[in-house]
Amino acid sequence: MKIKIKRSETECSVPSASDLDVGELAMNSTDKKIFTKDSSGLIVELGGTGKTTNALSQHSYTISENYSIDTGNNAISVGGITINSGKYVEISSASIWAIIWVK
């Protein structure tokens, strides 16, 4: 038996919300990235090379799950960020979380 997930070999190709069911996986073998659709209907990247080749990057403005920035890694958010009640962002040693707010 084989397990097949949706896939693309087109550089910078990301599935849209209508392409996946919640929890279903898709991969981009060229970019070495895996995606899924979360319970909010958002497409979430699960892995990758750490290289950004897109001219634009999108992210949610609400943090609805606990999140840890691994030691030695940095994170950036642009715009207002809301952290849901009871959730947290952990910033490990030697890491930075930069939030850029532009009006």
pTM: 0.47
Digit-coded pLDDT (tens) for 48-98 = 444 555 556 667 788 888 888 888 888 888 888 889 999 999 998 888 888
Neighbour-count burial for 64-97, b at 16+ CB within 10 Å, e otherwise:
eeeeeeeeeeebebeeeeeeeeeeeeebeeeeee
Digit-coded pLDDT (tens) for 13-59 = 888 889 999 888 888 888 778 888 888 888 888 754 445 555 566 67
Distance CA 80, CA 3 (A): 40
